[in-house]
Chains A and B, each alone.
Chain A
């Protein structure tokens, strides 16, 4: 389940779009059968790396929707450069993906 991502050059800025698969459980919901609260399980950090340095980071709270979508614009990378995206959640699970700037 890699992060799906695209990066496209537009007016001198790189537009990155990413789609992750994650439950994004808030910790506020209760199990409908047992009444037990469902523990929070959500992505905390999404990092975009370019050329070995951090280009962009998103700190996510539980209020980001299930299967998070993230888009952002950055300047710096050129067409043909590879961007690495990765996320970590509050239970230590992680995933990553790559996109080549078009």
Chain B
């Protein structure tokens, strides 16, 4: 509860940051960590903070490689393959985490990119990827990853 209040306050303070992230300045020109996006509590808010509320297109071109059951939520290996052209940014999210945005990968005009990392998951959740490519914003959701031991706090 405390954390929630703190975040709400922080959201107020970083209102300016949201303005910047919403497209007044291109994200690539901003070498700063997107604080506002990492502080959001829903995937929609995180996507809006990153991509300025652009319409998201569901696509099959984004595929995930992740375990069906993650026994330890502290270390879940995930791979995201994006079969699109002119990719600028890939955002990886776990909707059920306290802060859904896990990481963003920024590049310039790459095609068919694969990124992989190991993430923490609080509880059973699918993965969501939001990709900015060729001026459009695409999204895809993975199948659910079952987590038996959570990896957030405790």
A51 to chain B: closest CB distance in Å?
A: 13
Q: How far is the CA of A100 from the CA of B97 in the complex (A)?
A: 37
Task: Report if B106 contacts A (CB, 8 A).
Answer: yes
Question: Do A56 and B114 touch across chains, with their CB atoms under 8 A apart?
Answer: no
Binding site for A on B (CB under 8 A): 3, 33-34, 38, 74-77, 79, 94, 97-99, 101-108, 110-121, 151-154
Question: Do B106 and A68 touch across chains, with their CB atoms under 8 A apart?
Answer: no
Extra pairs beyond A59-B106, A73-B110 (20, CB < 8 Å):
A28-B152, A29-B154, A30-B153, A55-B107, A57-B107, A59-B38, A59-B103, A61-B99, A61-B102, A64-B102, A64-B119, A65-B118, A65-B119, A65-B120, A68-B117, A70-B117, A72-B105, A73-B112, A73-B115, A74-B107
Binary CB contact string for chain A from 11 to 40 against chain B (1 if under 8 A, 0 otherwise): 001010000000000101110000000000
Interface residues on A, range: 20 to 34
- What residues of chain B lie closer than 8 Å to A13, measured between beta carbons? 112
Q: How far is the CA of A30 from the CA of B152 in the complex (A)?
A: 11
What are the 8 A-B residue pairs with the smallest beta carbon separation, nearest first? A28-B153, A71-B116, A65-B118, A57-B106, A63-B102, A44-B33, A59-B104, A65-B75
Q: Known contacts A44-B33, A75-B110: does B117 contact A64 (CB below 8 Å)?
A: yes
Number of A-B contacts (CB under 8 A): 100
Question: Do A28 and B118 touch across chains, with their CB atoms under 8 A apart?
Answer: no
Task: Report if A98 contacts B (CB, 8 A).
Answer: no
A47 to chain B: closest CB distance in Å?
A: 9
- What residues of chain B lie closer than 8 Å to A44, measured between beta carbons? 33
- What residues of chain B lie closer than 8 Å to A15, measured between beta carbons? 114
